[in-house]
């Protein structure tokens, strides 16, 4: 599958597994196959590995190990937080979220609205930012949960999550943040307890797909989403995905060690790429707030092109990036994020997202700066 000249600029869709993560996992797929709930030695050894992983994840987040639940993905974490908040108090059946959430939140909120729950949707401006006064006004006495992502997966726009958390707390409501795109890219400290729930996903930080975590603040009551056995202190039933959880622990440890210099290096790659494209391709605009943005993401609108056609030509040259978000590719809908920012269908359909990561190099940027302008020029001529 791998081709030597693959140019992977789609790290917000998923990331390459770090070899150190895989090395840490393999013994748990080979010799250490015990069930962590078993009382004998090979079970207890595995339980110890889960405890280590929990410490590593909590270390990255600045919280206590007991505040981490392992889940099957970022989507499950988000669904579990929403489910818990709504199940907690029958008098609070209203949720507040934004128009630009990942489908994990967006679709869930739409389904809840169809089932009779009330949802207030916060709009964004042309930079992709929310208005904090509007948010404050949206929170009601019967609001069960405010769920707002930390960083947008399509544009990289960062919401002022600490300010949002303070507002929500002052209103006496629970707050969930989908931090899937932030964890491992920017430092997060949860020790002040203003966030009730936080979701993260392994495959966005160089761990395999199919594992995630949910932070639940120790003062927040939690109603389990998956019920059954007593795993995860009775908060998430089902025998643990041990190897992947061990991998997630390692991925978080690596992120904690490398984040500071990696953020600088990745930002430099992204900026050189973005500035290079803006200089060499006329009719190009950056989507979203350039200042409050993830260091790795560049969402660009190219006048007079169809992003699906660009993707095909880029793929032929080995370059992977995305139009809209990976989850909606294949459907004909223009990106809901770009449309919520007030852009026309046309601009949304002519936008591409490039997202850099740990395994990208200067040489990748050089090649991308060669390939992308050629492909755009070719399509504009045709
Ligand atoms: C990828 C992603 C998710 C979903 O995570 P999965 O582990 O794939 O379920 C949720 N939110 C954001 C912002 C994402 O980028």
Question: For residue 86, how far is its CA from the centre of ligand 1 (angstroms)?
Answer: 21
- pLDDT(328) > 60: no
Among 97, 128, 102, 101, smallest CA distance to 113 is for 97
| Closest ligand 1 atom to Cα of 77 | 9
Residue among 109, 180, 206, 325 whose CB has most ligand 1 atoms within 8 A, to mutate: 180
The ligand 1 atom at the shortest distance from the C-alpha of residue 212 is 7
Whether the domain at 7-16+258-381 and the domain at 19-254 fall into the same CATH topology: no
Calculate mean pLDDT across residues 317-328: 77
Considering only CA atoms, which of 126, 150, 91 is closest in space to residue 288?
A: 126
Q: Is 327 a catalytic residue?
A: yes
Domain regions of the chain by residue span:
7-16+258-381, 19-254
Nearest protein Cα to ligand 1, atom 14:
180
The two tokens of residue 378 are 């070719």
The whole-angstrom separation of Cα 137 and Cα 3 is 52
Mean pLDDT of 353-359: 98
Ligand 1, atom 15, residue with closest C-alpha: 153
At 333, the pLDDT band (50, 70, 90 cuts) reads confident
What is the side-by-side order of every strand in the sheet holding 143-147?
68-71, 212-216, 197-201, 174-178, 143-147, 94-98, 118-122
- DSSP codes of every residue in 253-286: HHHHHHHHHHHHHHHHHHHHHHHHHHHHSSSEEE
pLDDT tier for residue 325 given thresholds of 50, 70 and 90: very low
How far, in Å, is the centroid of ligand 1 from the Cα of 176?
Answer: 14
**Nearest-atom index, ligand 1, CA of 75:** 9
C-beta 58 within 6 A of ligand 1: no
| Ligand 1 centroid to residue 327 C-alpha, Å | 9
- Which of ligand 1's atoms lies nearest the C-alpha of 152? 13
Q: Which CATH class is domain 7-16+258-381?
A: alpha beta
Choose which residue among 147, 152, 178 to substitute to test ligand 1 binding: the one with the highest number of ligand atoms within 8 A of its C-beta. 178
The CB of 102 under 6 Å from ligand 1? The reply is yes
220 Cβ closer than 6 Å to some ligand 1 atom? no
> 19-254 has which CATH code?
3.40.640.10
pLDDT tens per residue, range 181-211: 999 999 999 988 899 999 999 999 999 999 9
Q: Are 196 and 218 in contact (CB under 8 A)?
A: no
pLDDT for 330 beyond 70: no
Does residue 104 have its Cβ closer than 6 Å to ligand 1? Answer: yes
| Sign of the torsion angle spanned by Cα atoms 184, 186, 190, 194 | negative
CA angle 7, 10, 14 (to 5 degrees): 120
Mutate to test the pocket of ligand 1, among 17, 102, 147, 211 (most ligand atoms within 8 A of CB): 102
pTM above 0.85, yes or no: yes
Q: Categorize the per-residue pLDDT at 326 as very low, low, confident or very high, splitting at 50, 70 and 90.
A: very low
Average pLDDT, stretch 19-48?
97
106 lines ligand 1 (CB under 6 A): no
- Sign of CA pseudo-dihedral 257, 263, 264, 269: positive
């Amino acid at each position: 599958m791998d081709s030597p000249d693959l140019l992977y600029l789609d790290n917000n869709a998923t990331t390459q597994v770090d070899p150190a993560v895989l090395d840490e996992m393999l013994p748990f797929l080979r010799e250490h196959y015990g069930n962590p709930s078993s009382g004998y030695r090979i079970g207890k050894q595995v339980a110890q590995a889960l405890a280590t992983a929990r410490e590593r994840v909590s270390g990255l987040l600045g919280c206590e190990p007991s505040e981490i639940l392992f889940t099957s993905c970022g989507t499950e974490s988000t669904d579990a937080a929403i489910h818990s908040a709504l199940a907690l108090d029958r008098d609070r059946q209203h949720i507040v979220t934004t128009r630009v959430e990942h489908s994990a939140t967006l679709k869930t909120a739409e389904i809840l609205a169809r089932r009779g729950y009330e949802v207030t949707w916060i709009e964004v401006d042309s930079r992709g930012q929310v208005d904090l006064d509007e948010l404050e006004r949206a929170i009601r006495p019967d609001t069960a949960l405010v769920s707002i992502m930390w960083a947008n997966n399509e544009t990289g726009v960062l919401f002022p999550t600490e300010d949002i958390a303070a507002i929500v707390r002052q209103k006496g409501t629970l707050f969930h943040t989908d931090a899937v795109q932030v964890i491992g890219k920017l430092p997060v400290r949860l020790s002040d307890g203003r966030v009730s729930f936080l979701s993260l996903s392994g495959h966005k930080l160089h761990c395999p797909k199919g594992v995630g975590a949910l932070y639940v603040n120790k003062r927040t009551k939690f109603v389990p989403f998956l019920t059954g056995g007593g795993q995860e202190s009775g908060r998430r039933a089902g025998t643990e995905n041990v190897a992947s959880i061990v991998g997630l622990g390692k991925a978080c440890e690596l992120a904690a060690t490398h984040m500071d210099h990696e953020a600088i290096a990745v930002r430099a790659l992204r900026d050189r790429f973005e500035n290079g494209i803006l200089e060499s391709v006329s009719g190009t605009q950056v989507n979203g707030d350039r200042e409050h943005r993830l260091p790795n993401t560049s969402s660009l609108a190219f006048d007079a092109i169809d992003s699906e056609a660009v993707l095909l030509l880029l793929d032929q040259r080995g370059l992977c990036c995305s139009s809209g978000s990976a989850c909606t590719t294949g459907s004909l809908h223009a990106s809901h994020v770009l449309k919520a920012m007030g852009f026309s269908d046309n601009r949304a359909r002519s936008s591409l997202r490039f997202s850099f990561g740990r395994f990208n190099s200067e040489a990748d940027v050089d090649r991308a700066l060669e390939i992308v302008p050629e492909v755009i020029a070719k399509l504009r001529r045709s």
